[in-house]
Amino acid sequence: MAVSAEVATLFLDEMARRNIPVKVGAEGGYEIEMDGGTVTIQLENLSRDFARDPDPERITNFVDTITSSIRVPDWEAARSRIRWATEPTDMPLDDALHDKVSDQAAVVLVHVSDDETQVMWVSESTAKKWGQTKEALFAVAADNMRRLLTTATVTFTPVEEHKLGMLNTEYSAFKAALVFCPGLRELAEPVLGWPLFVVMPCRDFVFLIPAKDQVILGRVGPVVVREYGESAYPLCTEVFELTDSGLRAIGEFQKPERTEEDEDEPAESADGMKTIRYRGGVVTFRIPAHWEEEYEDEGGGTFYDEDLDAGTFRLSTILAKSKSPVTTHTARERAEQRAAKESGTATDLGGGNWMVEYVHEVEEDGEPLTVRYWEITNPVPPNHVRIALFSYSVRTELLDDGDVIDEIETLAREVRACTFAAEVGE
């Protein structure tokens, strides 16, 4: 899940109130200079939590947590708190010491606060401060993870004549991480046998399936996909084989894919409108179902009613990269500047998006045209801004025509309801 503009704004505003400088990391995320080093803060998980419970106090508490533990402890104090955690590989992990264990999952070295509320990825600069190599840190983490494993249990639920095993631990944030821990066989074999198949769709959800009960793997597939899609901390949909040789991914459960027909033919709704997923969903909006669509190779879409002497609706998009962190303030400020320049009206559309409406009077082949614009600024944290420029051009003499009036009202309503991809696209 991408970071929402609202979460990014609340976070950066809170940091600014505390006079803590924040910059965008080269590989994504937000960076804070502290104690002679750099700490990278990721907001994806916070954004997932906020989507479920949009309480601004959640962001304040998050900032309280990271600022209260902003000093990196010395090595002797940190040693017993070094562990590894599991993270999806689509997270920006370049600055963290980690090992990729499959296409979708990685094991990341972390430092955990004494109260278990703060998990900090260990960077190369932090390791150097401690005078430790990556290999040495993983060895220390293995010892600490073994201690966590001693408090864990393995249980199972009967599925007909088969066993569906579960790994249980009070350290739920490290449940999936314990799968990589030496000693798991000694814990699991008396209950389930050995070897095992493992699925871990999120960091606090693990199924252990005896190899002899492989037949039930297919049954857990829908559960894995659902948990992965709904969890605040998704990890992977892969199936792993756990043997004496270690853990390796042997396949994955996949979500149902949209068919080619679904992609090519916009669905018509009961109100006579169809949904356009422009450039794969970068912008999603609706137009009358009977309208024609034309797309240019270099971008841009044109939409019109070929049976009506009215106007032409167009869309183009631009993606810009900012040198500073992007927030909802970025969108508002740009909208206000554009409204002033174009003598237009700026409107807050919610979700961080701002729209400017304005009109140009032009001529084409000597004929007066009126072009109505809806220009939407969509912030895409941490440092991109997407501009969607909708326009409707019509011969000026037709502005009082009933069909044209109806089209403009319909398009204005649908533009306001358009949605954007959460992540950077084309």
Q: Which amino acid is it at 363?
A: E
Structure confidence at residue 156 (pLDDT): 96
268 pLDDT higher than 70: no
Q: What is the DSSP letter of 268?
A: B
Share of the chain above pLDDT 70, in %: 94
Structural domains in the chain, CATH included, are: 5-143 (no CATH), 153-252 (no CATH), 260-420 (3.40.1000.10)
Per the model's pLDDT, the better-predicted residue between 38 and 8 turns out to be 8
Per the model's pLDDT, the better-predicted residue between 50 and 158 turns out to be 158
Percent of the chain as helix, strand, coil, to the nearest 5: 35, 35, 30
pLDDT tens readout for residues 366-385: 899 999 999 999 999 998 99
Q: Estimate the crossing angle of helix 328-342 against helix 5-17, to 10 degrees.
A: 100
Structure confidence at residue 261 (pLDDT): 44
Weakest-pLDDT range from 142-146, 263-267, 416-420 = 263-267
DSSP run (H or E) holding 197: strand 196-202
Instruction: Compute the distance between CA of residue 392 and CA of residue 303 in angstroms, rounded to an integer.
Output: 9
Cβ atoms of 189 and 217 closer than 8 Å: no
- 260 — pLDDT class (breaks 50, 70, 90): very low
Per the model's pLDDT, the better-predicted residue between 229 and 342 turns out to be 342
Pairing outcome for strands 312-321 and 384-395: antiparallel
Cross-strand partners of 283: 278, 420
**In the chain, what is the straight-line distance between the N-terminal and C-terminal CA atoms, in Å?**
18
Cβ atoms of 235 and 228 closer than 8 Å: yes
